[in-house]
Amino acid sequence: MKNNSICHNLFLFFLLIFINVNAQDNDGLYLSKMTGINSVSYTDVYYTGSKDTVLVSKYDGTIEQIVKGSPKSKKVAKINDEIYAITYNFKRKHIAASTLENGIVIINKQNGKVIKKLSLIQTWALRIDYSNDSKFLFANDQRGNRFIWDVDDNYNPIKLPEVMPKGSIYSIKNNVITLITSKKIILWNFLKRELIKEINISASRIADVDLFNNYLNLNFNSCDFFDVAKGKSLFSLQHPSWIRPVESIGGEDAARTSGFLVKNGFFEDTHYQMALTSAKFAKNRIYTASIDKSIRVWDKETGTLIDNLIGHKGTVNKIKVNATENQLVSIDLLGGIKFWNLLD
Partner 1 sequence: MKTRIISIVSFLNLIFFAFYLFAFTAKKDETVINYNDKVLKVRGIVIVDSLGIERAILGAHIPEPNFANGHRIAARGKGGSISGLMLYDHEGQERGGYVTDDGFGNVFLTLDSKTNQQVLLIAEPQGGAAFKMWDRGDNSIHLNVTKEASNLEIIEKGKLIQIKSDEK
Residues that bind partner 1 (CB under 8 A): 1-2, 5-6, 9-10, 12-13, 16-17, 20-21, 25, 31, 33-44, 59, 82, 84-85, 100, 122-124, 126, 142-143, 220, 275, 277-278, 291, 314-315, 317-318, 331, 333-334
Which residue number, 89 or 317, has a Cβ lying nearer to partner 1? 317
* Shortest Å distance, C-beta 6 to partner 1: 8
Which residue number, 169 or 177, has a Cβ lying nearer to partner 1? 169
Amino acid (one-letter) located at 226: F
* Shortest Å distance, C-beta 331 to partner 1: 8
Q: How far from chain centre, in Å, is Cα 124?
A: 14
Q: How many CB atoms lie within 10 A of CB 10?
A: 10
* Shortest Å distance, C-beta 343 to partner 1: 27
Which residue number, 26 or 110, has a Cβ lying nearer to partner 1? 26
Q: What is the DSSP letter of 73?
A: -
> At CA 103, angle to CA 99 and CA 106, rounded to 5?
85
Which residue number, 164 or 334, has a Cβ lying nearer to partner 1? 334
Which residue number, 44 or 129, has a Cβ lying nearer to partner 1? 44
Which residue number, 83 or 186, has a Cβ lying nearer to partner 1? 83
Residue 210: strand, helix, or coil: coil
Q: What is the DSSP letter of 248?
A: G
In angstroms, the Cα distances linking 291 to 96, 117, 221 are 27, 33, 9
Tell me the β-bridge partners of 45. Answer: 56
Which residue number, 36 or 69, has a Cβ lying nearer to partner 1? 36
* Shortest Å distance, C-beta 319 to partner 1: 11
Which residue number, 25 or 194, has a Cβ lying nearer to partner 1? 25
Which residue number, 59 or 260, has a Cβ lying nearer to partner 1? 59
In angstroms, the CA 54 to CA 87 distance is 10
| CB-count exposure of residue 13 (10 Å: 0-12, 13-18, 19+) | exposed
* Shortest Å distance, C-beta 245 to partner 1: 15
Q: How far from chain centre, in Å, is Cα 111?
A: 22
In angstroms, the CA 283 to CA 285 distance is 6
* Shortest Å distance, C-beta 102 to partner 1: 13
Residue count of the chain, please give it. 344
* Shortest Å distance, C-beta 126 to partner 1: 5
* Shortest Å distance, C-beta 13 to partner 1: 4
What long-range pairs does 289-295 form, CB within 8 A, spacing at least 24?
289/316, 289/317, 289/318, 289/319, 289/330, 290/221, 290/239, 290/315, 290/316, 291/315, 291/316, 292/239, 292/242, 292/243, 293/243, 293/332, 294/239, 294/243, 295/319, 295/328, 295/330, 295/340
Neighbouring residues of 75: CB distance < 8 A, sequence distance ≥ 6: 62, 63, 64, 112
* Shortest Å distance, C-beta 182 to partner 1: 17
